[in-house]
């Protein structure tokens, strides 16, 4: 099993475009390993309540997102060493052949520095735009099968008859930039069968920590083992797999400050969204999900269907402790690094760190940058991270103008 430990942050993908590209360049100058561009068209909060959130002073429109793949392409042209992670893009809005062409194109633009992820779909990106999530799990499996056939085809016609997707002799003749096709991970969790399927067709797993892996590093290690098992059963090399996570953290040396930030409206709402796979999982920690046991982000999040009153009421029912202890890895950079290292020991390769302190309070940008520098240095066991070269790294870079 590979022992690489790579750490980075989310990129910026909202206006102005020049700042998005400059941010990526500065992340590289800082010494980060990877920057992530996530495929989103909506934020998690409706515009009706967005002006009440501190980040609105920096981002006046709640859903003001660029196409992340195009931002990644521009960032790739302005950097040379940092890896660029794109995903997860859903398999409802884009068909397999188009995804293959997109990933191969980005592979050339980035000179092989890209890594990609697909997922079944999120309601917020499809339902409110007229798409159906019906059959999305099967679409995911068929997409992975077709991508594998295309990548192995060397430009020959591809044939596949699926329930939702098919290939009737179509070709994708664009060769990879290097000697092997780009790696495509899957954003999913679930049953052993699903995880083995990931290993059978894809190149690894993308998850969200801590909320989507509430069993901690032990659960993560089991998930990794199942994906590797699927690869071995398919005759593929499990050591070629990669395991990545978006990691929600809340870093500060002062416990009272952690509590203050964790109690903010934005972080409590994000705990509703990302704190667990389903509402019922909250009960494992002694909490009750404000939107019910059956609620889950992927199936139910439709931001612009929520009124401001609905959101405020839900937020009011999230204990600060849930945000602090379940929704985030919280504490000093040293404490968070220790928790993160346990996941690296369990098989994690890429950690995309999202420090939500700045989302709660714009004035914490400078502290967030210092804590990220410390975190990266501890995890990588080196002191080469250059904080002076980097931007004020808070939530999506927010905070640089609010020292």
402 has pLDDT over 90: no
Report the share of the chain in percent with pLDDT over 70: 94
Residue 396, pLDDT above cutoff 90:
no
What is the CATH superfamily name and number for domain 6-397? Luciferase-like domain (3.20.20.30)
CA distance 95 to 152: 18
Distances (CA, A) of 252 to 209, 263, 359: 18, 14, 14
Q: What is the mean pLDDT of residues 182-196?
A: 92
Inform me whether the pLDDT recorded for 393 exceeds 80: no
Residue 384 has pLDDT above 70, yes or no: no
At 365 the pLDDT is 85
In whole angstroms, what separates CA 163 from the centre of its chain?
A: 28
pLDDT at 58: 82
Q: DSSP of 311-369, one letter per residue?
A: HHHHHHTS-HHHHHHTSSEEE-HHHHHHHHHHHHHTT--EEEEEETHHHH-GGGHHHHH
pLDDT in tens, 168-177: 999 999 999 9
Provide the residue ranges of all domains of the chain, joining segments of one domain with +: 6-397
Task: Evaluate whether 106 touches 72 at the Cβ level (below 8 Å).
Answer: yes
Give per-residue pLDDT as tens, 363-376: 888 888 889 889 99
Q: Does 388 or 368 have the greater pLDDT score?
A: 368
- Point out which residues pair with 34 in neighbouring strands: 8, 83
Q: Please tell me the predicted confidence (pLDDT) of residue 4.
A: 83
pLDDT in tens, 89-145: 999 999 999 999 999 999 999 999 999 999 998 899 999 899 989 999 999 999 999
Predicted TM-score of the model (pTM): 0.94
Q: What is the pLDDT of residue 380?
A: 87
Q: Are 107 and 136 in contact (CB under 8 A)?
A: no
Lowest-pLDDT choice from 19-33, 97-111, 250-264, 304-318: 19-33
């Amino acid at each position: 099993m590979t022992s690489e430990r790579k750490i980075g942050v989310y990129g910026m993908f909202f206006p102005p475009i020049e700042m998005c590209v400059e941010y990526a360049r500065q992340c590289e100058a800082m010494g980060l390993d990877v920057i992530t561009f996530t495929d989103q068209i909506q934020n998690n909060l409706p515009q009706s309540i967005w002006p009440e959130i501190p980040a609105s002073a920096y981002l006046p429109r709640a859903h003001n997102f660029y196409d992340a793949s195009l931002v990644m392409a521009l960032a790739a042209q302005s950097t040379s060493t940092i890896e660029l992670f794109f995903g997860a893009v859903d398999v409802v809005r884009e068909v397999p052949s188009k995804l293959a062409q997109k990933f191969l194109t980005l592979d050339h633009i980035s000179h092989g520095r890209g890594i990609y992820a697909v997922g079944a779909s999120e309601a917020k990106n499809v339902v409110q735009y007229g798409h159906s999530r019906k059959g999305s799990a099967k679409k995911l499996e068929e997409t992975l099968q077709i991508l594998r056939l295309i990548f192995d085809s060397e430009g020959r016609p591809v044939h596949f008859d699926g329930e939702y997707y098919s290939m009737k002799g179509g070709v994708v003749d664009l060769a990879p930039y290097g000697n092997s096709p780009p790696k495509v991970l899957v954003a999913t969790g679930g049953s052993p069968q699903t995880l083995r399927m990931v290993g059978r067709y894809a190149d690894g797993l993308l998850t969200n920590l801590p909320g989507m892996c509430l069993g901690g590093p032990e659960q993560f290690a089991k998930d990794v083992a199942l994906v590797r098992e699927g690869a071995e059963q398919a005759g593929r090399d499990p050591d070629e797999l990669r395991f990545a996570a978006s990691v929600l953290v809340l870093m500060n040396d002062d416990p009272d400050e952690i509590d203050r930030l964790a109690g903010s409206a934005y972080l409590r709402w994000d705990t509703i969204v990302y704190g667990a796979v389903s509402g019922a999982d909250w009960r494992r920690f002694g909490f009750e999900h404000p939107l019910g046991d059956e609620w889950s982000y992927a199936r139910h999040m439709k931001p612009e269907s929520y009124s401001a009153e609905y959101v405020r009421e839900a937020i009011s029912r999230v204990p600060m402790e849930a945000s602090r202890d379940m929704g985030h890895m919280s504490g000093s950079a040293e404490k968070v690094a220790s928790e993160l290292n346990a996941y690296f020991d369990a098989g994690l390769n890429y950690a995309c760190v999202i420090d939500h302190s700045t989302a709660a309070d714009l004035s914490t940008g400078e502290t967030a940058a210092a804590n990220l520098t410390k975190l990266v240095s501890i995890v990588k066991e080196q002191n080469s991270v250059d904080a002076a070269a980097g931007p004020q790294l808070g939530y999506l870079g927010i905070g640089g103008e609010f020292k």
